[in-house]
């Protein structure tokens, strides 16, 4: 069943192209606590070593922890697997994107939000005859 999901869904795990590229060029670098696995191999268009992640389940780029995010975007050459990376106190744990769900951000005054938007100067007042 997992193989069928990988064939027909690009958002779940890895695609056939990613599987082939990983098999041919990939060297496993490490994994994170969520079960995502990180690879490198080959060269990108800028001549740097290509880096990619195979997600454990649903592909959500915001689920990459801060240390791995820096490595995958070439901000550091040392992966968190090769060092004792500790997140800073201001780095928050991952929260899934709530867009389209009950956890979505709804500012005051939005159509789906609660309450009424406060009036501001420059708000439109509709024209009425004899006003």
For residue 53, give every residue at least 6 positions away whose Cβ sits within 8 Å of its Cβ, in sequence order, or none.
36, 37, 38, 39, 64, 68, 72
CA distance 106 to 100: 11
* Whole-number pLDDT of residue 50: 87
* Whole-number pLDDT of residue 93: 78
The alpha carbon of 93 is separated from its chain's Cα centroid by a whole number of angstroms, namely 13
Return the ∠ at Cα 93 (arms to 113 and 15), rounded to 5°: 90
* Whole-number pLDDT of residue 117: 67
Q: Which structure tokens are listed for 93?
A: 């744990």
| Mean per-residue pLDDT pooled into runs of 10, the chain (131 residues) | 59 60 75 88 84 83 85 88 81 80 81 70 76 59
**CB atoms near residue 29 (< 10 Å):** 20
DSSP character at residue 94? P
* Whole-number pLDDT of residue 96: 79
């Amino acid at each position: 069943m997992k193989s069928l999901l990988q064939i027909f869904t690009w958002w779940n795990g890895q695609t056939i192209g990613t599987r082939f590229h990983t098999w041919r060029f990939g060297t496993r670098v490490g994994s994170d606590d969520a079960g995502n696995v990180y690879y490198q191999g080959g060269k990108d268009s800028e001549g740097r070593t290509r880096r990619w992640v195979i997600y454990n389940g649903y592909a959500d780029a915001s689920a990459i922890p801060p240390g791995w995010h820096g490595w995958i975007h070439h901000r550091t050459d040392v992966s968190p697997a090769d060092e004792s990376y500790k997140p800073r106190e201001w780095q928050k744990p991952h929260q899934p994107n709530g867009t389209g769900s009950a956890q979505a951000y709804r500012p005051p005054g939005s159509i789906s939000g609660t309450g009424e938007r406060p009036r501001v100067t420059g708000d439109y007042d509709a024209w009425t005859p004899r006003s």
